[in-house]
């Protein structure tokens, strides 16, 4: 049982071979299939109101399908230096494709909601030999537009359909049918240091940026999460994260499978399945769920649901993906009586850097302890860059870095490694943080998210946490609004409960006694019906930054007696249209704002 850093050190004294005997995902799944063949590995919820329609897959069936998929992929030209591009929701076939691809060669899970030209670029960058796409269905249908668009982009590889409810035009085969055909197991090449997967990161525009996962990276994170979360065969874990996200694949997925537990997958929509998440306590009672992994925004949503079922099976809430507000965690624990624990991870670390052990205390603002056999350090800077020769003492704030078996093998384009993957095996996270004397890691901000007002750095999380202390605020996000004088000014957006509309200046007045630094007090707070979210439920701040840009330009126009037309692009590049006679006035008003803009005449 792990509760403290001393427990981790005691574990390390036993040696890596003893603590991590299985070092590839396939070894982990295959071992469970041998030891617990009839236990349920995955329960897929087809209809949240009718459990009789669930699809349950045992570990024996799961392992057999994975090897069959590997055989199919090998027959389509997948070799150790080629990959399978996987564009599916989190489903049984998605899981089968992910691990089967890693046996035959490499997996490349891709967000199917990206623009087709970007998807095509990722497929090429991954040196894919075939593609798996979720087929035609009534619930979430992208086959009919995505596949023709990929063909138009020049992707002439075999494209297989899966998870379809109807024929999928243009498919070169149906994955479920192909893996049902008899055949022999294929040979698994390589070892734990073999490249297992490409995971894309770095946003949805620009050239592909692919993280290279070794098999050991994924297995180390899975086993470490088992140890830190005390997972075992009796655990039932809800995992609605997509498989192109490291949390869905490894932190909650492979960890549960490697422990012999059962994954509950809430259908194609995952955590966006309102029929499932809207009656979450009924689902907990029905399936005897023991662990719920949620981003903080979803934790806030479920906390507000009256408990109308027996939830005594629920052991832990695991929060990750964004900083965990102390007020939210306190309220969830007080209301529901279920402990909340935090996680910090990134794609480049296969999903985990630090984890709060479930048997240790929850420490406000902490994201936990380093993983066993890894190192976490706080770097100072030289010329604005993280410097591994400047490791800071406990209590000092700097840039968080990690090295160990969880750290990926860099980016597929080595030139992109600079500043992130450093000599000596260090991965620079980009988060600002500190370590305490007990080894607990604290995030104080994200360097690129810092709001810079003049020469003053403002941590947006400070504003967000203060807003979340208001009983009527359900979600909050702070960003920088461009300003021609200060560079940026802090502004915020809130989503309120019960349709509450704050009076003018009411929330700013609420913050005055809660934000110690007066320059961090937001200049404006707007309300939104719903926060823009990524597929895993994180607040998508570029959308809010775009709105802040519109606020700034509208304000500048108002001072000139103008109402400019403002269009903010994907990269926050901004086009401003005003009467032709006022072009120079508008340009002058915007000078000094840290944005890319073009002013044109109407």
Domain ranges across the chain: 5-441, 451-601
pLDDT of amino acid 42:
98
pLDDT of amino acid 202:
60
pTM for this entry: 0.80
Mean pLDDT of 193-200: 97
Identical fold at 5-441 and 451-601? no
Q: Among all chains, which residue has been given the structure tokens 């592909």?
A: 208
Cα–Cα distances in angstroms (integers) from residue 87 to residues 70, 211, 301, in the given order:
17, 17, 28
The pLDDT confidence band at residue 561, using thresholds 50, 70 and 90, is: very high
The pLDDT confidence band at residue 571, using thresholds 50, 70 and 90, is: low
> Are the C-beta atoms of 577 and 563 separated by less than 8 Å?
no
pLDDT of amino acid 13:
98
> Are the C-beta atoms of 93 and 175 separated by less than 8 Å?
yes
The pLDDT confidence band at residue 547, using thresholds 50, 70 and 90, is: very high
pLDDT of amino acid 205:
40
Q: Which CATH class is domain 5-441?
A: alpha beta
**Greatest mean pLDDT among 23-37, 188-202, 478-492:** 23-37
pLDDT of amino acid 128:
98
245-259 pLDDT, tens digit per residue, is: 999 999 999 999 999
437-469 pLDDT, tens digit per residue, is: 999 999 876 666 778 786 566 878 889 989 999
The pLDDT confidence band at residue 524, using thresholds 50, 70 and 90, is: very high
Q: Is 396 a residue whose pLDDT tops 90?
A: yes
pLDDT of amino acid 448:
64
pLDDT of amino acid 444:
79
Instruction: Count Cβ atoms below 10 Å from residue 205 Cβ, excluding itself.
Output: 12
% of the chain surpassing 70 pLDDT = 97
Correct CATH for 451-601 of 3.30.300.30, 3.40.630.30, 3.40.50.10860, 3.90.1720.10: 3.30.300.30
pLDDT of amino acid 513:
81
pLDDT of amino acid 115:
83
Q: Is 62 a residue whose pLDDT tops 90?
A: yes
The residue that leads in pLDDT, 328 or 293, is 293
The pLDDT confidence band at residue 207, using thresholds 50, 70 and 90, is: low
Sheet holding 597-601, edge to edge: 565-568, 574-578, 597-601
Lowest mean pLDDT among 147-151, 241-245, 323-327: 323-327
Token output for 429? 């996270």
pLDDT of amino acid 326:
78
Mean pLDDT of 67-72: 98
The residue that leads in pLDDT, 205 or 56, is 56
> Are the C-beta atoms of 130 and 106 separated by less than 8 Å?
no
Please tell me the distance from the alpha carbon of residue 201 to that of residue 469, in angstroms, as a whole number: 32
Please tell me the distance from the alpha carbon of residue 566 to that of residue 271, in angstroms, as a whole number: 34
The residue that leads in pLDDT, 546 or 538, is 546
């Amino acid at each position: 049982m792990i509760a403290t850093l001393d427990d981790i050190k005691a574990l390390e004294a036993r040696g890596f071979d003893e603590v991590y005997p299985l070092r590839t995902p396939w070894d982990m799944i295959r071992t469970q299939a041998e030891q617990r063949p009839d236990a349920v590995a995955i329960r897929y919820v087809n209809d949240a109101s009718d459990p009789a329609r669930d699809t349950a897959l045992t570990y024996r069936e799961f392992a057999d399908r994975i090897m069959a998929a590997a055989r199919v992929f090998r027959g389509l030209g997948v070799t150790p230096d080629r990959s399978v591009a996987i564009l599916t929701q989190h489903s049984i076939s998605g899981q089968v494709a992910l691990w089967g691809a890693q046996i035959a060669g490499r997996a490349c899970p891709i967000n199917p909601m990206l623009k087709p030209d970007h998807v095509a670029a990722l497929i090429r960058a991954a040196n894919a030999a075939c593609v798996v796409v979720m087929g035609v269905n009534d619930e979430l249908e992208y086959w009919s537009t995505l596949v023709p668009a990929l063909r138009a982009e020049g992707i002439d590889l075999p494209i297989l359909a899966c998870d379809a409810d109807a024929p999928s035009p243009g498919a070169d085969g149906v994955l479920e049918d192909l893996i049902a055909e008899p055949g022999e197991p294929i040979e698994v090449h390589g070892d734990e240091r073999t490249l297992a997967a490409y995971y894309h990161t770095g946003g949805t525009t620009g050239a592909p940026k692919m993280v290279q996962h070794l098999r050991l990276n994924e297995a180390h994170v899975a086993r470490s999460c088992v140890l830190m979360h005390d997972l075992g065969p009796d655990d039932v874990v809800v995992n609605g994260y997509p498989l192109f996200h490291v949390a869905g694949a490894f932190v909650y997925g492979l960890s549960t499978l490697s422990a012999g537990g059962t994954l509950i997958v809430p259908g194609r929509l995952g955590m966006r399945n309102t029929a499932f998440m809207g009656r979450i306590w009924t689902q907990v009672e029905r399936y005897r769920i023991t662990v719920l992994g949620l981003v903080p925004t979803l934790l806030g949503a479920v906390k507000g649901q009256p408990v109308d079922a027996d939830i005594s099976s629920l052991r832990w809430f695991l929060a990750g993906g964004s900083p965990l507000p102390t007020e939210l965690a306190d309220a969830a624990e007080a209301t529901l009586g279920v402990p909340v624990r935090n996680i910090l991870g990134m794609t480049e670390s296969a999903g985990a850097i630090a984890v709060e052990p479930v048997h240790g205390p929850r420490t406000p603002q902490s994201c936990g302890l380093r993983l066993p056999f890894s190192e976490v350090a706080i770097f100072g800077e030289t010329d604005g860059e993280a410097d591994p020769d400047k490791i800071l003492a406990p209590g000092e704030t700097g840039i968080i870095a990690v090295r160990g078996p969880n750290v990926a093998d860099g980016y597929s384009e080595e030139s992109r490694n600079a500043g992130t993957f450093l000599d000596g095996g260090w991965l620079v996270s980009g988060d600002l943080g500190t370590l305490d004397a007990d080894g607990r890691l604290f995030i104080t901000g994200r360097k690129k998210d810092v709001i810079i007002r003049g020469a003053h750095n403002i941590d947006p999380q400070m504003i967000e946490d203060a807003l979340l202390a208001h009983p009527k605020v359900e979600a909050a996000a702070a960003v920088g609004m461009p300003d021609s004088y200060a560079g940026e000014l802090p502004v915020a957006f809130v989503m309120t409960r019960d349709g509450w509309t704050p009076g003018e200046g009411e929330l700013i007045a609420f913050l005055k006694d809660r934000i110690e630094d007066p320059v961090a007090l937001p200049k404006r707070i707007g309300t939104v019906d719903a926060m823009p979210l990524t597929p895993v439920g994180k607040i998508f701040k570029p959308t809010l930054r775009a709105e802040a840009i519109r606020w700034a330009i509208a304000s500048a126009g108002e001072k000139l007696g103008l109402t400019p037309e403002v269009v903010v692009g994907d990269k926050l590049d901004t086009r401003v249209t005003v009467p032709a006679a006022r072009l120079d006035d508008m340009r002058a008003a915007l000078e000094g704002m840290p944005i890319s803009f073009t002013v044109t005449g109407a």
